[in-house]
Amino acid sequence: MAVTSSQSKQPASVTNVAVGRYIDTGTVAAVTFTIGFKPRWVRVINEAASSSSFEWFEGMADASAIKRAVAGDLTTVTTNGITPSASGFTLGLDTDVLVTSEQLDWIAIG
């Protein structure tokens, strides 16, 4: 296949990585992060006392995630998790992870 001006070809070894921090201001809505690529793996950690986290990887359904709760228990959620998009991801309204005035740290790899 020829590469034209409307196509790009990246070798398999090229990886996009984005990291960030977010503090929820109490708006009742999911949060969308625009990172410029479609992630293949996302991890979101609530750094406050609750210390809950989400992990999503390619192949999982939209709005799902592996959730680590305060007690350290692992569960799979099928709603209010992480949904990838062509240019980022959306974090759902899980009340253990997305908590008003608590800091989230996240990393996405694509």
Helices (H) and strands (E) counted in the chain, each on its own, are 0, 8
Whole-number pLDDT of residue 50: 64
Whole-number pLDDT of residue 62: 97
In the chain, what is the straight-line distance between the N-terminal and C-terminal CA atoms, in Å? 23
Whole-number pLDDT of residue 5: 46
Whole-number pLDDT of residue 68: 92
Whole-number pLDDT of residue 72: 73
DSSP 81-92: EEEEETTEEEE-
Q: What is the mean pLDDT of each run of 10 residues along the chain (110 residues)?
A: 47 81 82 96 87 94 93 89 97 89 93
Q: Are 38 and 87 in contact (CB under 8 A)?
A: yes
The residue to which tokens 């296949």 are assigned: 1
Whole-number pLDDT of residue 73: 85
Q: Are 90 and 80 in contact (CB under 8 A)?
A: no
Distance of alpha carbon 80 from alpha carbon 78, whole angstroms:
7
